[in-house]
Structure 1
Amino acid sequence: MTTFDDREKGFESKFALDQEQEFKAMARRNKLLGLWAAEKMGLSPDSAEDYAKAVVRADFEQPGDEDVFRKVAGDFKGSGLTVSEGEIRSKMDELASVARDQIRAGE
């Protein structure tokens, strides 16, 4: 193998690792978002865990964050809570940062 081939493999490995970490971070973010939403809706601890798992599963419906946003916003509306789009999106951004830090720290 040449040095170029070694470098190419190194870049490919780093890209794969970065993608894996981002996937884990988004799944963690969605769980944290689900727990936050469950607390706002007054769910019991067991129900909160189940709800957080449902939020994580919602992310697999389509690419991007809109499926997660729609689930949480719809559930807030269904439970009679008025939570603005801005508050939900802000919390998603905040928790994405928290989740990335946790994944990098190996938590």
Structure 2
Amino acid sequence: MSEFDKRQEGFEKKFALDEEQKFKAEARRNRLLGLWAAEELGITGDAATAYAKEVVAADFEEAGDADVLRKITADFAAKNVAITEQTIRAKMNELLAVAAAEVKAGK
């Protein structure tokens, strides 16, 4: 194996690891976001955990965060929770930083 091949393999492994960590961080962020949204909706206990799982599952509908944002926005509107899309986006960014740190720390 040439030096170039070794270097390419190293980059590919790093890329795969980065993508895996990104996926885990986004899934964790969505779970944390779901728990936050459940609290805002007045959902507690096992129902809050189930709701958080629904939020995680919503992220698999399409690429990006739009599907998660759409679900939470619709759920807030249905329960007359006065939290703006901008606030939800800010919470998503805040929780992504928390989730990424947790994933990086191996939690």
Aligned with 1:60: secondary structure? Answer: coil
Q: Counterpart of 1:5?
A: 5
CA distance in 2, matches of 1:8, 1:90: 37
More displaced 10-residue stretch of structure 1: 80-89 or 49-58 = 80-89
| Superposition misfits of 4+ residues, deviation over 6 angstroms | none
Partner of 1:70: 70
The whole-number CA distance in structure 1 between the counterparts of 2:44 and 2:2 is 59
Count of residues in correspondence between the two structures: 107
User: Which whole-Å CA distance do the structure 2 matches of 1:22 and 1:81 have between them?
Assistant: 30
Q: What percent of counterpart residues are identical?
A: 56
Please report the RMSD computed on the Cα atoms of aligned residues, expressed in angstroms.
0.5
Is there any run of 5+ residues in structure 1 with no aligned partner, and where?
none
Q: Offset at 1:96? A: 0.5
Q: Distance in 1 between matches of 2:10 and 2:49?
A: 39
TM-score for the superposition, normalised by structure 1: 0.98
Equivalent position of 1:45 in the other structure: 45
Provide the residue aligned with 2:102 in structure 1: 102
Q: Distance in 2 between matches of 1:76 and 1:45?
A: 19
Q: What TM-score does the superposition give when structure 2 sets the normalisation length?
A: 0.98
